[in-house]
Chain A
Amino acid sequence: MPLTPPAEPDPEPKMNWASFYAVISGVNRHSTGIGRIWLSVLFIFRILVLVVAAESVWGDEKSGFTCNTQQPGCNSVCYDHFFPISHIRLWALQLILVSTPALLVAMHVAHRRHVDKKLYKLSGRASPKDLEQIKTQKMKITGALWWTYVISLFFRIVFEVTFMYVFYMIYPGYKMIRLVKCDSYPCPNTVDCFVSRPTEKTVFTVFMLAVSGVCILLNVAEVVFLVGKACSKHLHNAGDSTMGAWIAQKLCSY
């Protein structure tokens, strides 16, 4: 058998998870330490595992779904009845939706920088060096940015939990069964249909579920950390301020 030359590396960049990573990891600079850990867990244990392993497990989900009948169309209909939406697509949507609240923070930082630039220009400090300094300085998570960050964490948690619930509703028990019984038209009667690679699918479902749980814990820990940091900062700065003044300060400090 003649040796085939290795495939040419694809010169055209694809719109894929790698370019998505480039967009999302830009937010890393303004995250806390826990936020950076969360981002790494997301990309290594969820997106990478999805692309490298899970997609090949579910690759033949439809072609390998076999029903005990010769009736044309019965396979399609039974597959559609038991798998309204594939795990892979649900995970892809979950990962996209869970990552995007971080862009709220990026937008807020960009807005803050824009306002800083305007202030600098008005006060006469419009040298290129000063404007560069605005671009490179790390924003402190205080004031309105603190609220944006906490809200983005809250949305992340809500999306994660919602998707876990949706998974549970569509695929009860998170387990993939070997055999399903189907009697939708045009199947002539109740036919046995066999799912392809059920155990492997169960393993990956449980794995992705566990990592999703870890991500929720990290997000909750980050919220607790931010709230704790804000409380201790306030107590340290102004020991005799009232709670109302603290809330007013947080809301209006920027």
Chain B
Amino acid sequence: MSWPTLYAQLVGVNRYSTSLGKIWLSVLFIFRVMVLVVAAESVWGDEQSDFTCNTLQPGCENVCYDHFFPVSHIRLWCLQLVFVSTPTLLVAMYVAYRNHGDKKRILQVCMLFSFVLITVQEAELESLKRRKMPLAGALWWTYACSLLFRLLFEGGFMYALYVVYDGFQMPRLVQCDQWPCPNLVDCFISRPTEKTVFTVFMATTSSICMVLNMAELAYLVAKAKARRQICEPLHITAPQTCACLAQL
């Protein structure tokens, strides 16, 4: 189970995404996951081994590191990326549930009329797999909920990072007086400037993703309003029919 596996799952849901959703997925995997794996992980690689305190007291470095870095940036970002990607799987689950229901109906119909050729049944099932459901009705609500959750998780994790590390800047020097350090000792963090650069980069891409999600939500709402304006005068209430009509 790794990032490419997650990518494969999310790309499958891409068919039901809007264009903004597809852009969001590219930004997520190229500017966040890729940069995390290829660059950021090597910057934080020696974060504990190169955390040096001005003391010979055994245990002082461990304790001070643990006090100032309760959760490493890398782990927070990994969790953030996993949490932010999973609401999309809500949409995938809903689509699978709908397909399962429709498949059952097709099989039941074919069983009732058992003289129907097997090829017709297979053709029906194939077209079921390949069809693209319009973004309307319950699918629209599922998609909108997944966007809201994405926004919540992004904002939540950015806030958590800001609170835990008192901003996005990594200081060069921290002063520690945890037991067993004998008194107030200076502890030096490894590569603080490089870490600050990458923290700011990841915060920026996270904000871009939030903006994309908000734009996508606004687009969905606008599209739903436009659809209602077309269908209400014609008294069409079924959302799928309305969506098909709106696409023409």
Enumerate chain A interface residues (CB-CB to B < 8 A): 12-17, 19-20, 23, 62-63, 71-73, 75-77, 79-80, 83-86, 88-89, 92-93, 96, 100, 103, 107, 111, 122, 185-186
Contact = CB atoms under 8 A, between A and B. Distances in A.
12 contacts: A12-B2, A12-B5, A15-B37, A76-B50, A80-B192, A86-B194, A89-B39, A92-B38, A100-B31, A103-B26, A107-B22, A185-B173
A62 B190 contact: yes
Contacts of B23: 107
Contact of B54 (A13, A17, A23, A186): A186
A20 B188 contact: no
A17 B38 contact: yes
Given A15-B4, A84-B197, A92-B39, A76 B190 contact: yes
Chain B interface extent, by class? 35 or more
Contact of A72 (B34, B37, B53, B189): B53
B38 A16 contact: yes
A96 B193 contact: no
A103 B7 CA distance: 17
Contacts of A75: 52
**Residue in A75, A77, A89, A185 with the greatest tally of chain B CB atoms within 10 Å:** A89
Interface in B1-40: 1-5, 7, 19, 22-23, 26, 29-31, 33-35, 37-39
Contacts of A12: 1-2, 4-5
Interface in B33-77: 33-35, 37-39, 42-43, 46, 50, 52-55
Contacts of A84: 193-194, 197
Contacts of B186: 73, 186
Q: Tell which of A14, A80, A88, A186 has the most Cβ of chain B within 10 Å.
A: A80
Nearest to A18: B4
Given A15-B2, A84-B197, A72 B35 contact: no
Nearest to A61: B191
A29 B54 CA distance: 58
B172 interface: yes
Contacts of B7: 15, 19
Given A76-B189, A122-B248, 10 more contacts: A14-B37, A15-B2, A72-B188, A73-B173, A76-B52, A85-B193, A85-B194, A86-B194, A89-B194, A89-B198
B33 A15 contact: yes
A166 B94 CA distance: 48
B4 A72 contact: no
B52 A100 contact: no
A55 to B, nearest CB: 8
A196 to B, nearest CB: 14
B33 to A, nearest CB: 6
B39 A93 contact: yes
A19 B4 contact: yes
Nearest to A71: B54
Contacts of B52: 72-73, 75-76
Contact of B188 (A63, A76, A85): A76
A132 B23 CA distance: 24
A16 B43 contact: no
Contact of A100 (B1, B30, B189, B192): B30
A13 B2 contact: yes
A16 B29 CA distance: 11
A167 to B, nearest CB: 14
